[in-house]
Amino acid sequence: MDAAPHKKPRVWSVGLLAGACAAVLHFCAFPNVNAWWAGLVCLSPLILWAYAKPPRRAFLTLGFLAFFFSWSALLIWLRHVYPGWGWVGVFFLAFFNSCFAWVWLWALWWVGRRYDLSGPARLRIFSILGLAAFWVVLEWLRGWLFTGFPWLPLSVSQWVQPAMLQLAQWTGGWGISFVLVFINLCVAGYLRSLYTLVKTGDTATKQMRVKMGSMTFRVGFHMELYLGVFALLACVSLMIGMLGKMHAPRELLFKAGLVQPWAPPDEKWDAELILKNWSTLKALTLSLRAEEPDLYVWPEAATPLAVFGRNSEDMRAAVEELVTELDKPLVMGNLVWTQENYNGIFYVSPRHGVSPIFYAKTHLVPFGEYVPFQETFSFIQKISPIEGRFYPGKFLDPLRISVRGQSLNMGALVCYEDIFPQIARALAANGTDFFFVASNNAWYGTEAGATQHAAHAVLRAVETRRPVMRCSNNGWSGWVDEFGYAYELRENAGGQVSLQSVSGGEKGSVYFRGTGAFNVARSPHYAGKTTFFTRHGAWFVIACGGLVILSALRLRLPAKKS
């Protein structure tokens, strides 16, 4: 009777500690902190607590709050997008993402009530595999439900660590998320095996027990240790197997000259600033001639007026005149203002001008490029930062461009689209040689938004084994090779722009107004070839769904009283 009043405060204090550790680690795993190792352990504190069989209400409440605070911190840059409504967007999307984590935590709690460290090894394996697979299914669902928001899946935490990325060629990014959750479960299981509170009896393996006061530490080896190490070494071995291809001579596709005009969102569409914005874009582009690029590159919606549709003739003529002067082709993000407005990517050649064949964005941003249910609820239109409505494109075909005397298929992706693996996969299956992502991250401010966005391109490159080039209005601009090595344009304190590896190099900022040039090359081992993921798509998600069902049936045992 005396112990009862102290039990509940202790449960909540332990839960607060576990939740705080999980939230901090989850936040640190992603840009801008980029602590890739945190992705291996960010779930472990909550898993450890679940194995202690806490009350369901306390576990699910504190677990949800841990993810809610972490997601709120990760998405805080969204407050810049919608003036007056920005914080609503931050907390709504944090809540949305945390709901999927809450469902997984519920499954974790359910398994934790049945998890027995001294139980049969096959049941422990089923529980670990089933939980890792369930995380994958939930990540996939997050990418589809309500048009999808697959921002920062756990796999993106490894974007600066190519040794963990190579599995994506076969499984997509979902396989990497599976491995990370699997390792988290193994770490927690092993730590749980080492530390118990005055627990005796048979254990899963022979271990040496060391008593320190009222606590017992068990030192030795455990099944989870072997499983976790095996998963980690399997990823590293894939990387080692790729070393020969990574160091083989590469085929130069072209030298790209990128322009970051950094037109502020509130000035971008100001009719009084059309001439100023165009003059800035033109001057920056002309300054690139000294670098002698083979292809000039502009970001999303680069010009202050559309190149097709209403009031577009003068703007299109100005672009074509500039490209003729440069005598080199240009790819750019731009708009079509007709009865149906499109946000797309265009190719401009010195001889033929702006091609009427363009890529129209197929996956639009809700409340940015269109307003859901605006016909029914007209007041919702007021919170959109862009006037008018865009329509989605209907085709996922690469654009044919000519550069350096060769014809290439360019897989075009407009901004938000590169976070959706199915779009890049479809373009790769249709013959893409390389990807170009045109973006306008000026909406996000100068915090972590641009880098978080760019991190997804690393997965798209490895999944399809196609290089990815990105150009944004103010950052992140650069390119990613087929093996996941990313290189970004940075401006140093002296105002000089250079290409640097994301995992090292000089200090600098990706946010600048200026230009940069670099070579885009490809590995001959993958030219004209499609990956297993490109051919078979979400097969791994389907397999994980089957594994979840199998594990649930196998673990459906009466809960043990604690």
Encode pLDDT of 41-87 as tens digits: 999 999 999 988 899 999 999 999 999 999 999 999 999 887 667 88
Mean pLDDT of 224-240: 91
Reply yes or no on whether the pLDDT at 177 is more than 50. yes
Residue 197 CA to residue 131 CA, distance in Å, equals 26
Does the pLDDT at position 8 exceed 50?
yes
Note the pLDDT of residue 118.
52
pLDDT score of 206 more than 60: no
Q: Which CATH number fits domain 251-524: 3.40.50.11740, 3.60.110.10, 3.30.413.10, 3.30.70.2740?
A: 3.60.110.10
Question: What is the per-residue DSSP string for 319-376?
Answer: HHHHHHHHTS-EEEEEEEESSSBEEEEEEEETTTEE-S--EEPSSPPBTTTB-TTTTT
The tens digit of pLDDT for each residue in 531-553 reads 999 999 999 999 999 999 998 88
Q: Model confidence at 282, in pLDDT bands (50, 70, 90)?
A: very high
How would residue 373 be classed by pLDDT, with cut points 50, 70 and 90? low
Q: Say how far apart CA 70 and CA 22 lie, in whole Å.
A: 9
Please compute the mean of the pLDDT values over residues 459-479 and round it to a whole number: 96
What is the secondary structure of 56-91 as a DSSP string? Answer: HHHHHHHHHHHHHHHHHHHTGGGGGTSTTTHHHHHH
Percent of the chain scoring above 90 in pLDDT: 71
Its sign, for the CA torsion 459, 460, 466, 472, is negative
Under the banding of pLDDT at 50, 70 and 90, the label for residue 113 is confident
d(CA 371, CA 384) in angstroms, rounded, equals: 7
**pLDDT for residue 464 is more than 60:** yes
Task: Return d(Cα 484, Cα 172) in angstroms, integer.
Answer: 13
Does the pLDDT value for residue 196 go beyond 60? no
Average pLDDT of span 403-410: 95
Residue 557 has pLDDT above 50, yes or no: yes
- Per DSSP, the residues of 247-272 read TSPPEEEEEEEEEE----HHHHT-GG
- pLDDT band of residue 195 (cuts 50, 70, 90) is low
Average pLDDT over residues 206-221: 50
The pLDDT of residue 226: 85
Q: Is the confidence at residue 562, as pLDDT, over 70?
A: no
pLDDT band at 241 (very low <50, low <70, confident <90, very high): very high
**Taking residues 78-100, what's their average pLDDT?**
88
Q: Quick check: 183 pLDDT over 60?
A: yes
pTM for the full model?
0.91
Q: Mind listing the pLDDT tens digit for each residue in 298-342?
A: 999 999 999 999 889 999 999 999 999 999 999 999 999 988 899
For 546, half-sphere exposure in the C-beta direction (CA atoms, 13 angstrom radius) is 5
Residue 192, token pair as written in the block: 């749980």
Q: Give 414-437 pLDDT, tens digit per residue.
A: 999 999 999 999 999 999 999 999
Residue 505 clears pLDDT 80, i.e. is over it: no
Q: Which residue has the higher pLDDT, 553 or 368?
A: 553
CB atoms within 10 A of CB 364: 20
When pLDDT is cut at 50, 70 and 90, the band that residue 192 belongs to is confident
- What does DSSP assign to residue 561? P
